[in-house]
Amino acid sequence: MIESPPPKFGAPDGRIPYWRLLTDQGVITQEIAEYDYVGTGTEEDPYAVSWIPNDPRNPLLFGLAKKVTITLAVAFSTLIVSLTSSAYSGSMRQIEDHFQVSTEVATIGLSLFVLGFAIGPLFWAPVGETFGRQIPFFISTGSMAIFSAGCAGADNIQTLLVLRFLAGAFGSSPFTNGGGTISDMFTARQRALAISLYAAAPFLGPCLGPIIGGFLSMNAGWRWVEGFLAATAGLVWIVITVAVPETYAPVLLRRRAETLTRVTGKVYRSKADLSKGRQSLPKLLSNAMSRPLLFLFREPVVQLFSIYSAIVYGTLYMLFSAFPIVYEEGRGWNQGVGGLAFLGVMIGIMLGILATIPYNKLYQHVQDANGGYAPPEARLPGMMLAAIITPAGLFWFAWTNSPSIHWSVSIIAGAPFGFGVVLIYLGVMNYLIDSYTIYAASVLAANAILRSIFGAVFPLFTNYMYQNLGIHWASCIPAFLAVLCMPAPFLFYRYGSAIRARCKYSAKSQLYMEKLHASAAS
């Protein structure tokens, strides 16, 4: 009997077409199929699947153009989600008039969307760590487009508020899985610049939103604002669908093992699954869903840095209610021009992004001086500078926002705040990702939960605070909170290593990444 030849897989040169990367998470090549994996291929001793040398499906080995394309697509999705949250604020005056509701009720539409950012990660983070990044992106952005379209046709304020919340909750996946996608593709040495591209989006979006929403609502009405947001969300869904393949290594290796088992008849398991043991899907999801809250309440690193970034994020969203009071009520500006007050913050954000370049070089210098390894604390020098600059900018705004002082002085004060916001956010993200790499989605979800709760709550009491304290002392409140947080990066720079040594999941992540990189290098 003549034995049939072994099946052939992939292109002759071992490359994988891009469309296969997008559509087949378990795609294999001839080299992958013929690789000599550890094990005997039985149920008792399955082949242990890991990355092979020069693996074409290893996201860490993607070409620079592919990595940049995926990073920009993820950043674009985050930009539109955050823009959708704030563009609503530019149309609140028309919403109040149309539905005959108070400013406080209309503001709930802003707060509920941001509150969705806190609820959504409890679902998207575990789904991302169980099924990968690609599927959550696809479902999340498509759902946000649908709910935003529903907002445009809302017949009453209750429907509008509920749909805003659902759009925020379903659209929040990029906030949790975006950082994880970048950590999948970039080594610690490269990650800072990639994170800078991605992390600019959550802050540029809120700055652009009031400008777009203000002018569009004035000239076309609030429904056109929501329609515009639905259209941009639809565009994001298309971009994500055609540009972002799966990048999460544990899921890719699990799918590869399933494919190899199916086509060869032997038993294959990914190394990660072998080390953890087999778990049922409900058990896997249950563990993953509880992990963000576990990190938030049990891991000191996640807890303290989440509080810091939450205060800064809450302050940014507080400005959506504060700027109309200061510039529209105090100076008589219209909605569109009032939105331009965010240009100072936006310029500061862009300067903060540029500042990450020298700080990344400093990080690389630390790596080179330590044999290619730099501790997470090497990410903190920029955050230490921002800890000083951020409250300075807030106090500057607080005591120069009177109508008797030229408007440019208080708007320029937004620049140091925006500069500090970016460096704090990037410092927190890079530090958490470096400390909890394989749990990046859950760690960022924990951070996003607390950050979003603050972002949802701060605008709700802003009107009352400004009415009771006045524009000067009310603006000082977030500045005082920033001063309280100022020691955090300095303390972690000095004692962070000792704190991380006592954190269970940080140690697990470090061990896994050492094995993964050793496997890829062998």
pLDDT of 387 reads 93
CA dist 132 and 115 (Å) reads 24
H or E stretch covering 30: helix 30-34
Structure tokens at 117: 């950012």
Specify whether the backbone of 98 is left (phi greater than 0), alpha (psi in -120 to 50) or beta: alpha
CA dist 104 and 124 (Å) reads 30
Q: What is the dihedral of CA 357, 363, 369, 370, to 10 degrees?
A: -150
H or E stretch covering 66: helix 64-87
pLDDT of 518 reads 63
Candidates 3.40.50.1000, 3.40.630.10, 1.20.1250.20, 3.60.40.10; CATH matching 280-521: 1.20.1250.20
The DSSP string of 76-99 is HHHHHHHHHHHHGGGGHHHHHHHH
DSSP 44: S
CA dist 263 and 243 (Å) reads 28
How far from the centroid of its chain's Cα atoms is residue 68's Cα?
16
CA dist 76 and 490 (Å) reads 33
Amino acid identity for residue 316 in this structure: L
pLDDT of 161 reads 93
Contact 414, 344 (CB under 8 A): yes
The DSSP string of 366-388 is HHHHTTT---GGGG-HHHHHHHH
pLDDT of 7 reads 54
Alpha-carbon Rg for the chain in angstroms: 24
pLDDT of 278 reads 62
Helix ranges restricted to H, 244-299: 249-264, 271-276, 281-298
pLDDT of 3 reads 41
Domain with CATH 1.20.1250.20 in the chain: 63-247, 280-521
Structure tokens at 382: 């920029």
* Measured CA distances, 297 to 308, 504, 519 (Å): 15, 13, 33
Closest CA to 269 of 38, 471, 433, 423: 38
Place domain 63-247 in its CATH homologous superfamily.
MFS general substrate transporter like domains (1.20.1250.20)
The DSSP string of 416-454 is HHHHHHHHHHHHHHHHHHHHSGGGHHHHHHHHHHHHHHH
Q: Half-sphere exposure of residue 91, counting CA atoms within 13 Å on the CB side? A: 29
List the chain residues with pLDDT less than 70. Answer: 1-14, 192, 276-281, 283-285, 287-289, 441, 513-522
Angle, in degrees to the nearest 10, between helices 157-170 and 92-99:
140
Contact 422, 199 (CB under 8 A): yes
The model's pLDDT over 373-416, given as tens digits with 9 standing for 90+, comes to 788 888 899 999 999 999 999 999 999 988 889 989 999 999 99
Q: Half-sphere exposure of residue 183, counting CA atoms within 13 Å on the CB side? A: 27
Contact 312, 421 (CB under 8 A): yes
Burial code of 379-400, b = ≥16 C-beta within 10 A, e = fewer?
bbbbbbbbbebbbbbbbbbbbb
Token pair 């000599």 is found at: 36
How far from the centroid of its chain's Cα atoms is residue 459's Cα?
21
DSSP 354: H
